[in-house]
Amino acid sequence: MRIGILDLLGPPARRPVDIGYQLLITKQYASITPQSISVWCRRQGHETFYATYYGLGQPHRLLPADLDVVFISCYTQVSHLAYALAKIYRRAGIRTVIGGPHAKAFPVDCLRFFDLVVGECDPELVTDILSGQFDPGSIISSDQPFDDVPTVEERMPEIRASAFFWGRKPLILSAVPMLASMGCPYRCDFCIDWSSTYRPLPADRLAADLRYLARHLPGRLIVFHDPNFAVKFDQVFETLEAQPPDHRPPYIIESSLTVLRGDRPRRLKETNCAMVAPGVESWTDYSNKAGVGREAGVAKVDHVAAHFAQLAENVPYLQANFIFGLDTDRGDEPIELTKRFMDRAPFAFPTINIPVPFGGTPLHDKLTADDRILGAMPFSFYYAPYLVTTIKNYDPITYYEKLTELYAHAASPEMLRKRLRTTSHRAIGYVHRARTASFRTDIGSFRRILGMLRSDRKFLAFHEGRSNSLPEYYRRTGERMLGRYAELLSPADRTPDLSPADTRRHHLTIEQR
């Protein structure tokens, strides 16, 4: 059979300034599961065609037109592009399958456009899909996420296609996606991995991949896609440390501060860790991830800032992840505490996320029960700078005012000077400047939305949850996001179906063999 695998990494570029970012950065976001599916199909003797779309060109031209089956993976932000492509493929008589984060979060909506919607996936499930075991209109899933992660060597055709320039030469930032574990032991209510089981993958597979990279792609950056890297710290780091020092590639991880305690920051340095992105999330909640016990408020800020300082002595680049607008946030305190952290740890670049109610999470269930999700808001806006819920303790105007205040502090000239003084790495200095400029662009977006909230009563009524009529601003912006594909989706197509999967009718679970 002729099998297509398309990984949608971002929406079509709309501004010239987007092109460089998407070519250098977005291009490197390729997911491991689509690459694995390509390998599994190739192992079975099928002719496979794998491609990633990172915002440049025409995605429907990345794969041949005469496929038997096409697998598409996407995030919720680009799901409308996936839906438009599904219409094109179905008209050509190609069986369409969607997987990835969006399919897992909103399977019922996906079923309006795709023949099959996949939750978890493994090689056996892919075999059954290709042999026609499931009727169109099915939501299917393997019993648990796959353990058979193909080696880097097996995935090299996909890695070249996704990360290299024209599939031939690596770019400066070309990265190799890898996994050392699956799942996460924490139960953060906003995360799609909240109910997953943490499982380390075989150490010998990790060791084999590291040896292959040392021989064939020396010094190439690794990005570990683990939701929480090295929960079994000693087990993972014994494998990393077994590599000769001059054969240890730089790598990027997401991990919790609880994992990175004691002498572990030193071991990050010794194994050539280039970046760590711990999730702090909130100064009043999720303290189990920060390793601060029952501390909250100023005490938690100072404790976390001191921990980041220890990490900064060993890791060149740090990112601190926050969420503003949780139900525990109220008044000026979360803003002032986050600003205090920025001042005490300027070397840690902050990301300040807006709560997004992804389906299948406790946060989504709670906000649905409280009727706080803006049901008419298209999935294209399920990311910053857009607000798709009502915030418990802030009206929309106040929320965007506070969010603008946070970003303005993070992007101020004085904060940039502090960041630059804390690093001797020229490349990291460029990253700080670029991300600061991006924050200033975000501030402009916040202010535009804030201006509409203040001047347009219908726009404000929508964001207060008093109206289900989608503002014209979002309709026009959504069409610009889709570009030439906008004509394929009607207004009804763009209105999400947020209902949970009907397990009696649709959901088929394939027991693991």
6-40 pLDDT tens trace: 999 988 877 776 777 777 788 889 999 999 999 99
Instruction: Tell me 375's DSSP state.
Output: T
Residue found by looking up tokens 């429907």 in the block: 60
Closest CA to 320 of 353, 341, 351: 351
Closest CA to 125 of 133, 136, 113: 133
In CATH, the architecture of 156-448 is Alpha-Beta Horseshoe (3.80)
Domain limits of the chain? 2-147+505-510, 156-448
**Token pair listed for 116:** 């099959």
Report how far apart, in Å, the C-alpha atoms of 284 and of each of 288, 290, 320, 338 are: 11, 11, 16, 11
With DSSP H G I counted as helix, E B as strand and the rest as coil, what are the percentages for the chain, rounded to 5?
45, 15, 40
Instruction: Tell me 331's DSSP state.
Output: T
Q: Which residue has the higher pLDDT, 170 or 439?
A: 439
**Token pair listed for 285:** 């909640």
> What integer pLDDT is reported at residue 73 of this predicted model?
97
CA distance 447 to 449: 5
Listed range (49-63, 112-126, 278-292, 473-487) with the worst mean pLDDT? 278-292
- 8 Å CB contact between 133 and 158: no
2-147+505-510 shares its CATH topology with 156-448: no
> What integer pLDDT is reported at residue 510 of this predicted model?
43
> What integer pLDDT is reported at residue 328 of this predicted model?
93
Listed range (74-78, 161-165, 260-264) with the worst mean pLDDT? 161-165
CA distance 322 to 216: 38
pLDDT digit string, tens, across residues 303-336:
999 999 999 999 999 999 999 999 999 999 999 9
Listed range (113-117, 133-137, 207-211, 435-439) with the worst mean pLDDT? 435-439
Q: Exposed, middle or buried, 472 (CB in 10 Å: 0-12/13-18/19+)?
A: exposed
Q: Which residue has the higher pLDDT, 343 or 167?
A: 343
> What integer pLDDT is reported at residue 17 of this predicted model?
64
pLDDT digit string, tens, across residues 112-164:
999 999 999 999 999 999 999 999 999 999 988 888 899 999 999 999 999 88
- 8 Å CB contact between 222 and 176: yes
CA distance 74 to 52: 10
Q: What is the rounded average pLDDT for all residues in the chain?
A: 92
In CATH, the architecture of 2-147+505-510 is 3-Layer(aba) Sandwich (3.40)
For residue 210, count other CB atoms closer than 10 A to its CB. Answer: 21
